[in-house]
Structure formats: C-alpha cells, structure tokens
Structure 1
C-alpha cells in the first residue's frame, strides 16, 4: 500500500514575523460585499467618493433588508436571551433605563449565587409602548444572516465590523445628538426614522476623544430614512436619530479601521527585538553611546516608515485577524464529514497563495499553512471563496496532484484548523455547482 504523502504543515504565526507584502483585495466570485447593500452606487464608487469622507444615503426596494432580520429571528433572540449588561440596553430620551425595568430573575435559579436574568416580556413590551428603544449590541454574533454580511464586509474592507440593532415603536429618540469614534453603515430594516446630520464635530476621532465643539443647533440635513434605505456616516460626524411613530428597526454596521497611530505603534514595537531599544536611558545626561544607539534606531524606524513598511504592517494585521466562531456539530466533533458536505474558505481577511518551487504558503488567522506544491490547484479553487461540495473538491487529479484520499484528509485538516468551514447552506450543492458559481 502506497504511503500517504504529508501535504501540509501548520504552525502558529510569530507576532513579529515578516510577511510577504499585503494580501490582495480579491472579493471572490460574488463581488464586493458592499454591492449586496448599496442599490444606487457600486461598492467601488462608494469607496472612492464617500468612504471615510462624507455621508451617503442610498435608496432601494422597501423589503430588500428583511432577510437579515425576520421578526421570528428577533423574537427568538429575545426569548432565549440572558440579559448581559454589555449586550442589551433599553434607552429613552438620552438615558439608559435601569435593567430592572425590563429584565427579571429566572424563578428557582440563582439561590446562593448571582441571580440569572432574562428579558421580561411584559416589562420590555411596556417600555417599548412608552417610547423606549431596544438596543441589542453585537447582534452579528447571534443572527446568522447578519453575521454572514458582517463577515463579508470585514473581509472585503479589511476592517473590524460589529453590528447593533435598534428597535422602537414611539416617537422619542434613544440618544442625544452625538458623534461616534467609528464609521457607521445604517440599514433601515422596517419602518422609518428621522435623521439629522450636523457636520463634523471631531475630525477623525479616536476612542476616548472628547468633542472639540458642541453640536450645532441647526442640522445641515434633515430627512427620513425609509424602509430599504441605507445611510453611511463617517466617524466624527454629529447626528441625531428619532423614530417617527409605528414600527421601526434598523441595524448599524460599525467599522473600525487602523489609523496612523496604530502603524506607529507597530513600528515602535518592532524595535524591541534590537538591543539599541533595550538599554537604560542615561537620566543623568546625554552621552555618545546613547547618541549612536538612537541614530541606529532612527535609521531602522525610518526604513519602516515607508510604503514597504506600511504594506508589511497591513499584511501582519490581516494575517492575525481572527474569524468569528463557526460550529459544525456533530461533524466537527466526530471528524467524519459526509461526501455531500459543502465547504468554503473561512479566512476573515483576504489571503494570497505564495508559491515557491516545491512549497506554497497561506497565512490566515494567526497560522501559517505550508503545503506541498501539488496542492496549488486545489487551493486556488478554495481561494475563490465560493462553496464547494466535498466530493467535487476532492476528486482525483490526473495531473499529478493529490489523490482523492489525500485531498479528503487535507480538507479535513483544514476544517479542524478553521481555515475552512461548512458552507452557508444546509442543502448540499448539486454536483458541479461550484464550477458554475465560480464563473
């Protein structure tokens, strides 16, 4: 019996590893994730004209976001929710209501320990009828369709993405006029809300910054954001939001991107490996030895404050980004995946296939994957980021590539490490579906 070749070695990525340039911004066969959200402007045009610069309102069909948050999904979320203080709040007229006004202890539990809380249906509904707004943080962790879109946006924009839900039935705003330290993309799922935009309050703010000025008394723009419309608000822009009666629900996708300060911290951190950055400072006065050390550091820092240094920083940042957890029980625990299972690349950021003679390398989610060069055709299929049926993906390669048995074991190992995950549909794709989607 022929011995199975060892096709893959996986190692943890050194935090200060030098990586080969940035990963390409390929978006796969489905196009840019922004094209799933914007109806009147392409994602590419939006990035060129508005991203990080100015507000943008997008129109569309009223029901185009309903699939993200069906009412059954929201009700399920609240029915099973333990009211974690950092996850959920109910707010009205600029203040958060005390949790006791909408949560209750679970009877018969918590004796002699911290009480276990849940959302009280009667209490919560009363607060909502009184005009309060339900705010559910990080809803992308709990609602599959929202999570899928958040993952796609994070991949294509190379940004940290989180999603908050806002639901209300009154005419009282939840918060006073404010600006945020992150960009926001608002999707109006149901109903409508009044928005007021006042212009820039703090240019390119960072977390913890205080306002430079007070909110202007008169908005520069005032309009209703209607069902099926989207609004982009860059960080630092004053805005106020008010429901206008009836049912209104929107999702805010928050984006945090690296800033120049992050790049500078990366440059400084990389000096720790050099002795010149580790010596004590001569607090009694300047000396020639210190001057030589600082001159050496200045040269090293200058070499990193370049286009090449920025590319290396981006590559390292993307390589260490972690994917959201995805569970695939019972298969993930048993390690036995059915032949009609659907798999898809799970990398949270764009990845590149670096080929070097007898080996090829992928770096993702803090791990380095070293493959035998014969795996390159299979890897190129996976990097398309389209779902593949397992039996289609691992078929025998007559051109000297891995056998079906080797490919199956390779895919199983990639599933165990999290580079692959089970696909987004519970229904297996028909044979050849991956080929059609990729084209």
Structure 2
C-alpha cells in the first residue's frame, strides 16, 4: 500500500506556474530533453514575489562572505575569491558577474519552489542567481549536464544557443528560457544590469539507482568484503577460482537487487530530493519529556512519505530513512497519518503512547501546539 499525502491542499502545480501559458503536456511532448523553449511573457513583474534585485542585494550585503557564498566570473574565467564585500562590489563595477549558488537555501520562496518542482519531476532542483553588470559576459559557450530553466528577474540578456543552427535572442524581464541538458549556450548583458535565476533539474539516472543498490547490497553482506585469493593474478588456477567466485557473487547480488527493491530505492531517492520538513523539530524534542497520552500531536505538515509491507512489518520511508513498525500498529498508524490532531489515548490497539513518542522523536509527528 502506498500513501502520498499533501494535507489536501489545493496547490497549483509548480510546472503550471513556471511554464504557463504552455501546458505541462506540451512541454513534456515537444521540449523536455529535446528542444529549447522561449516564453516571452511581456510581464516585467512576473517573478517579483519569487526574487528581485533588491533581494539579491539584501542577501549579498547582509549575510557575510563565507566560503562559497558568492562566485565571481568574467569573460569565461573564474575571478578568484573576494577579499571582502567592497572588493566584491569593485569587481562587479569592473565587469565581473556575481553568482550566488544554491540561493534557494537562503530564501524561502525559492526553497519552496524547489520542493514543489522536485516533487513533480521526481528530481533534485537547485537555484543559482546570476547578477551581470552592463555590457558584460560571465561564461563562454558551455553545456550543462542537467536541464535548466532560466528566469529573467531584472533587466535583459542576449542569449546565443547552438541547436541545429545558431540562434540569438534577448531574454527580457519576466521571460523564461528552457535549455535541455547538453545544449551549447552563452549569454551577455546589454546596456543595463541583468539578474536571472538558473533553476537546475538534476534527475535520477538508472546508473544512480543501480550503483546505490549495489553499494547497499555489498555493504550488508560480509561475503563481498572477503579478499581475493592470495596471488590469484599469477597462476592459472587462481584466475579460474576468481572467475568462479565472481559468478557466485554476481548471482548473489542479482538475487538481492530485485526490481521491487530497486524501484523502492528510486522512490526513496526521489522523496529525499524534495528536502526535509523539520521546522519546529527541536521544540518537539524539548517537549518529549512532557508528552503523555493526552498530548495533542499530528503528522508533520507537508511531509512526503509512503508505507510498504515487508514480511509482516510496516515500512515507513521519509526524510531519507526507513522506519520499521510492527504490523499490529497499522490501524493506529493510519489514524495518525490522516493529518488531523489526535492523542495517544485515542489510538486503536496497545502501546499507543510509545508509538507516538517514537514518531515524534523521528520527526514524522509534531506536537499540535507547535505545528
């Protein structure tokens, strides 16, 4: 049984907002992984609530310059580390592009956009912000190893892409450009400042799933940690024994890496890409000492999770981990999972308080008062 809960919220899919007026079906059919997409919206304020030049300035001037906070590039070359904020501004005035990597980690609306896109694409999403002064260029022609959505937040930029034949166009404030992975491109500002967001979609690959499955399987089985025979590379018999043992171990691996297991692993990896929902968890942990059978708790809002049955056990994957619960708790768990506040005293079955305490501690439940 699989349960995928979103609290019943009526939320417009992020791809509908991102791609409109192009439908998601049209994008998937005609563009994703195939051809670029240019949306001219003629709506300068389209991204105002998401990000702005003022927000970039606030993050830059107010958060300090810790390692990796800002990258500097100019004419295709990295411009080294800045000695301080004034040095950073000086380089910008002199023609360097300022890049704020993973800006979604520093600004909640972008973090929420990444979470929603990750849920729809089943892929990790990251956002970088690029601020380019007038008449300047950051990178040379290059290819990205993942799909990119370019959101022009302020000003404009001249883009050149090389698909079939070279195409050149201006991306203006409010416009969007989709670039499939591997498409060569470059961009430069014109007569004004340009600020754009680069939303990168980093999908899972079959190699990711298979490699992760193999690594987990060999780590769990001591047979794979055995050394190869002494001197096996120098004798015919040693090589023959090695081939035979490899056959045995690959058969052993194949028995473990079933399609069901690998598919479950892929789902868990996709859920993890959406990020965690652990706001207030420290308050919950502090409140555990006073939690009793009458304390109101609820499932953590916005949490992505599943349930699976495995040999009489209820398996609960969320936040990149898997909890195993005795099958006798299934009725109580389904009551917990509906999203409404409840108390341990109101759960069916036995050991309700112990179950509630464990799930609060793990972050699946939260105290209703703090949620």
Same fold at TM > 0.5:
yes
Matched, 1:244 2:190: yes
2:317 is paired with a residue whose SS is strand
Distance across 1 between alignment mates of 2:233 and 2:282? 62
Contact 1:162 1:254 in 2 (8 A): yes
- 1:63 CA drift (Å): 2.0
> 2:20 is matched with which residue: 33, 39, 42?
39
1:394 paired residue number: 341
Q: What runs of 5+ residues in structure 2 fail to find an aligned partner? A: none
Q: Which residue, 313, 319, 322 being the options, matches 1:367?
A: 322
Preserved CA contact (<8 Å) 2:156 2:170: yes
2:223 to 226, 251, 275: 275
The equivalent residue for 2:37 is 56
Normalised by the length of structure 1, the TM-score is: 0.66
Residue of structure 2 in register with 1:253 after alignment: 199
Aligned-partner SS, 1:145? helix
Distance 1:63 1:368 in 2: 45
Q: CA offsets per residue over residues 328-348 of structure 1, 9 Å max, x none?
A: 38845643899899951334x
Matched residues in 2 for 1:168 and 1:422: separation?
A: 46
What is the 5 A alignment of 1:196-211? 196-199=160-163
- Residue 128 of structure 1 aligns to a residue whose secondary structure is helix
- Is 1:175 the counterpart of 2:175? The answer is no
Does the Cα contact within 8 Å between 1:322 and 1:366 map onto a contact in 2?
no
Q: Distance in 2 between matches of 1:340 and 1:283?
A: 62
What's the counterpart of residue 90 of structure 1?
A: 72
In structure 1, what is the Cα distance between the partners aligned to 2:37 and 2:181?
A: 13
Provide, for residues 352-382 of structure 1, a one-character-per-residue CA deviation record: whole Å limited to 9, x for no partner. Answer: 2236899743211223153722334445534
From 130, 149, 157, the counterpart of 1:185: 149
| 2:91 maps to 1:132 | no
Per-residue deviation, 1:89: 1.9
| Alpha-carbon distance in 2 for matches of 1:51, 1:344 | 31
CA contact (8 A) 1:139 1:146 kept: yes
Cα 1:305–1:258 shift into 2, 3 Å: same
Tell me whether 327-336 or 244-253 shows the greater mean CA deviation: 327-336
Distance 1:238 1:305, change over 3 A: farther
Match status 1:145 vs 2:100: no
Q: Which has the higher helix share?
A: 2
Alignment of 1:69-108 (within 5 A): 69-100=51-82, 103-104=83-84
Shift of 1:53: 3.2
**Cα distance, 1:197 vs. partner?**
0.9
1:315 Cα shift?
3.8
Q: TM-score, structure 2 length as denominator?
A: 0.76
Does the aligned pair in 1 maintain the 2:123–2:270 contact within 8 Å?
Answer: no
Which moves more between the two structures, 336-345 or 323-332? 336-345
Shift of 1:228: 1.9
Question: CA 1:44/1:368 → structure 2, altered by over 3 Å: closer, same or farther?
Answer: farther
1:296 paired to 2:248: yes
Q: C-alpha separation between the residues in 2 aligned to 1:275 and 1:341?
A: 44
| Cα distance per residue 1:173-225 (max 9 Å; x no partner) | 1111111223222111122211111139xxxxxxxxxxxxxxxxxx5221122
> Does the residue aligned with 2:192 lie in a helix, a strand or coil?
coil
Query: How many Å separate the matches in 2 of 1:285 and 1:414?
Result: 57
Q: CA deviation at 1:148?
A: 0.9
Partner of 2:234: 284
